[in-house]
Amino acid sequence: MMIVLSGAIGAGKSSLATILSEHLGTEAFYEQVDNNPVLPLFYKDPKKYAFLLQIYFLNKRFDSIKKAMVQDNNVLDRSIYEDSLFFHMNADMGRATPQEVKVYDELLDNMMQELPYAAAKKAPDLLVHLDISYDTMIHRIEKRGRSYEQPEQDPTLPEYYHQLLSRYDGWYDDYDYSPKMKIDGDKYDFVENPEDRQKVLDLIDEQLRKRGTLD
C-alpha cells in the first residue's frame, strides 16, 4: 500500500514526499496546486469557490490515490481525509452551505467505497504528520511565495491559518484509519540540513519496519 503525508499549508509535505520517495525508490504523488485553476479564485472569493475547489481537489486526490496504490510505499503528499477538514472548516466559516456539505460528505463516502484498497483495508500503511507552529507556517508560506497565500494580500488569512492549525491538532489525535506518526517540522530542517533529513528518514523507516513494509 502507500505512505500518506499530512500537515498544514507549508508544513513540508511536498518536500518530504520527494525526499522520502527518492529514499525508498518509489514514486511521489503531488497535490494539484500550481496548475490548479480554482485555487487562486478561491483565495479571491472563498464563499463563491469553496465548494468548487473542494470538488476539484477530491477528483484529483482520488485520481492520485488510484495511481499511487499500484506500488508499495508510493508517497502521497496529502491525505484525502484532510480535504474534509479544510471543507468543514470553510463551511463553519460560512463559505459553504449545509446542502453543499451534505453533497460533499456523501460523495466522499461513496468514492471511498469504490477504492479497492478502501474496501479491503480502508487505509494507507502509514500516515506521517508534519507538525508545525504558526510562526513556522508563515515563514514557510513566505519562503515559498505563492502570492494568493501571503498574509499581506488578505488580512483575514492569519486567522484562517490559526484556525487551520488548531483543527489539525484535534484531527491528528482523532485520526485512526491507519498507523500514524508525528514529525516535529519546527525542529527538523529536512530540506536544507542533511543530518536532519537522515534523522527524519530513520524515524519513518523505523515505523515502516515495525509494520513489515520495509526490509
Ligand X SMILES: Nc1nc2c(ncn2[C@H]2C[C@H](O)[C@@H](COP(=O)(O)O)O2)c(=O)[nH]1
Ligand Y SMILES: Nc1ncnc2c1ncn2[C@@H]1O[C@H](COP(=O)(O)OP(=O)(O)O)[C@@H](O)[C@H]1O
Reported in sequence order, the residue ranges of 123-205 that DSSP labels E, i.e. its strands, are 126-131, 180-184
CA distance 161 to 111: 28
Q: CB under 8 Å to 86, separation ≥6 — which residues?
A: 54, 57, 164
Nearest to ligand X of 83, 131 (CB atom): 83
Indicate the residue type of 58: L
Q: Pick one of ligand Y, ligand X, none as the site partner of residue 143 (Cβ within 5 to 8 A by kind).
A: ligand Y
Q: How many CB atoms lie within 10 A of CB 156?
A: 10
Interface map 111-150 toward ligand X (x if CB under 6 A):
--------------------------------------x-
Q: Under a CB-based contact definition with an 8 Å cutoff, are residues 63 and 57 in contact?
A: no
What residues between 152 and 171 interact with ligand X by CB under 6 A? Answer: none
Catalytic residue among 34, 45, 77, 135: 77
What is the nearest approach in angstroms of ligand X to the Cβ of residue 214? 25
Q: Which stretch binds ligand X (CB under 6 A): 49-57, 120-128, 171-179, 184-192?
A: 49-57
CB 3 within 8 A of CB 65: no
Annotated binding site: 7-15, 31, 43, 54, 78, 83, 140-144, 149
Residues that bind ligand Y in the complex, under the rule CB under 6 A: 7, 9-15, 77, 140, 143-144, 185, 188-192
Catalytic annotation, residues: 77
